[in-house]
Protein backbone atom coordinates (compact mmCIF):
# COMPACT_ATOMS: atom_id res chain seq x y z
CA UNK A 1 0.00 0.00 0.00
CA UNK A 2 1.53 3.34 -1.04
CA UNK A 3 2.03 5.87 1.75
CA UNK A 4 -0.62 8.54 2.23
CA UNK A 5 0.79 11.96 3.04
CA UNK A 6 -0.66 14.81 5.00
CA UNK A 7 -0.18 17.03 1.95
CA UNK A 8 -2.38 14.71 -0.12
CA UNK A 9 -5.11 15.05 2.51
CA UNK A 10 -4.75 18.84 2.51
CA UNK A 11 -5.01 19.00 -1.28
CA UNK A 12 -8.02 16.64 -1.30
CA UNK A 13 -9.82 18.81 1.27
CA UNK A 14 -9.09 21.96 -0.74
CA UNK A 15 -10.41 20.41 -3.97
CA UNK A 16 -13.64 19.55 -2.15
CA UNK A 17 -13.88 22.99 -0.57
CA UNK A 18 -13.18 24.89 -3.79
CA UNK A 19 -15.03 22.52 -6.11
CA UNK A 20 -12.35 22.21 -8.77
CA UNK A 21 -8.79 21.10 -9.34
CA UNK A 22 -8.01 24.39 -11.12
CA UNK A 23 -9.27 26.60 -8.28
CA UNK A 24 -7.41 24.43 -5.79
CA UNK A 25 -4.19 24.84 -7.78
CA UNK A 26 -4.67 28.62 -7.96
CA UNK A 27 -5.39 28.79 -4.23
CA UNK A 28 -2.29 26.74 -3.36
CA UNK A 29 -0.10 28.52 -5.91
CA UNK A 30 0.83 25.34 -7.78
CA UNK A 31 0.22 23.95 -11.25
CA UNK A 32 -3.00 22.01 -11.76
CA UNK A 33 -0.97 18.91 -12.62
CA UNK A 34 0.48 18.98 -9.08
CA UNK A 35 -3.03 18.88 -7.61
CA UNK A 36 -3.95 16.01 -9.96
CA UNK A 37 -0.82 14.09 -8.96
CA UNK A 38 -1.62 14.45 -5.25
CA UNK A 39 -5.19 13.25 -5.79
CA UNK A 40 -4.09 10.29 -7.95
CA UNK A 41 -1.51 9.30 -5.32
CA UNK A 42 -4.15 9.50 -2.58
CA UNK A 43 -6.55 7.41 -4.66
CA UNK A 44 -3.80 4.80 -5.19
CA UNK A 45 -3.08 4.81 -1.47
CA UNK A 46 -6.74 4.26 -0.63
CA UNK A 47 -7.33 1.86 -3.50
CA UNK A 48 -10.43 3.70 -4.72
CA UNK A 49 -11.28 6.69 -6.90
CA UNK A 50 -12.39 9.68 -4.83
CA UNK A 51 -13.75 11.79 -7.69
CA UNK A 52 -15.77 11.14 -10.80
CA UNK A 53 -14.05 13.12 -13.52
CA UNK A 54 -15.88 14.24 -16.66
CA UNK A 55 -14.26 16.70 -19.09
CA UNK A 56 -15.78 20.14 -18.81
CA UNK A 57 -17.59 19.36 -15.53
CA UNK A 58 -16.71 19.94 -11.92
CA UNK A 59 -15.33 16.85 -10.19
CA UNK A 60 -17.95 14.96 -8.20
CA UNK A 61 -17.13 12.92 -5.13
CA UNK A 62 -17.68 9.19 -5.36
CA UNK A 63 -19.23 7.38 -2.40
CA UNK A 64 -15.70 6.53 -1.24
CA UNK A 65 -14.74 10.19 -1.70
CA UNK A 66 -17.65 11.31 0.45
CA UNK A 67 -16.65 8.95 3.25
CA UNK A 68 -13.01 9.94 2.90
CA UNK A 69 -13.78 13.65 3.10
CA UNK A 70 -15.53 13.33 6.45
CA UNK A 71 -12.53 11.45 7.86
CA UNK A 72 -9.94 13.72 6.22
CA UNK A 73 -11.62 16.80 7.62
CA UNK A 74 -11.45 15.31 11.13
CA UNK A 75 -7.79 14.38 10.66
CA UNK A 76 -6.91 17.92 9.58
CA UNK A 77 -8.85 19.41 12.49
CA UNK A 78 -7.00 17.08 14.87
CA UNK A 79 -3.68 18.20 13.39
CA UNK A 80 -4.65 21.85 13.93
CA UNK A 81 -5.57 21.06 17.53
CA UNK A 82 -2.26 19.28 18.03
CA UNK A 83 -0.38 22.31 16.71
CA UNK A 84 -2.39 24.53 19.06
CA UNK A 85 -1.66 22.29 22.03
CA UNK A 86 2.05 22.17 21.31
CA UNK A 87 2.37 25.86 20.38
CA UNK A 88 -0.20 27.64 22.57
CA UNK A 89 -1.22 31.25 22.05
CA UNK A 90 0.01 31.37 18.47
CA UNK A 91 3.67 31.16 19.44
CA UNK A 92 6.07 31.94 16.63
CA UNK A 93 6.93 28.91 14.61
CA UNK A 94 3.45 27.45 14.90
CA UNK A 95 2.63 25.58 11.72
CA UNK A 96 -0.02 27.01 9.47
CA UNK A 97 -3.50 25.50 9.85
CA UNK A 98 -3.92 22.27 7.93
CA UNK A 99 -7.70 22.20 7.74
CA UNK A 100 -9.11 24.08 4.77
CA UNK A 101 -9.07 27.75 5.71
CA UNK A 102 -12.46 29.11 6.63
CA UNK A 103 -13.91 25.68 7.34
CA UNK A 104 -15.75 25.11 10.56
CA UNK A 105 -17.31 21.82 9.53
CA UNK A 106 -17.51 19.54 6.52
CA UNK A 107 -20.82 21.21 5.63
CA UNK A 108 -19.11 24.49 4.76
CA UNK A 109 -18.79 23.91 1.02
CA UNK A 110 -21.45 23.06 -1.52
CA UNK A 111 -19.79 19.75 -2.39
CA UNK A 112 -19.37 18.78 1.24
CA UNK A 113 -22.92 19.84 2.14
CA UNK A 114 -24.15 17.37 -0.48
CA UNK A 115 -22.09 14.71 1.32
CA UNK A 116 -23.91 15.28 4.56
CA UNK A 117 -27.33 15.29 2.89
CA UNK A 118 -26.70 11.91 1.27
CA UNK A 119 -25.40 10.43 4.56
CA UNK A 120 -28.58 11.25 6.50
Q: Would you state the pLDDT for residue 120?
A: 42
Residue 106 pLDDT greater than 60, yes or no: no
The three-state DSSP-derived secondary structure of 58-109 is CCEECHHHHHHHHHHHHHHHHHHHHHHHHCHHHCCCCCCCCCCCCCCCHHHC
Write down the CATH number for the domain with range 6-89+96-119: 1.10.10.10
Q: What is the mean pLDDT of residues 46-54?
A: 95
- Provide CB contacts within 8 A for 120, sequence distance 6+: none
Enter the DSSP assignment of 47: T
Q: What is the mean pLDDT of residues 79-98?
A: 70
Q: Would you state the pLDDT for residue 2?
A: 76
Residue 110 pLDDT greater than 80, yes or no: no
Amino acid sequence: MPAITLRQLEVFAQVVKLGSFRRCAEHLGVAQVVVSEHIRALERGLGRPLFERKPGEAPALTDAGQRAYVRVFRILEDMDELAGDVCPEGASGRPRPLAPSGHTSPASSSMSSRILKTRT
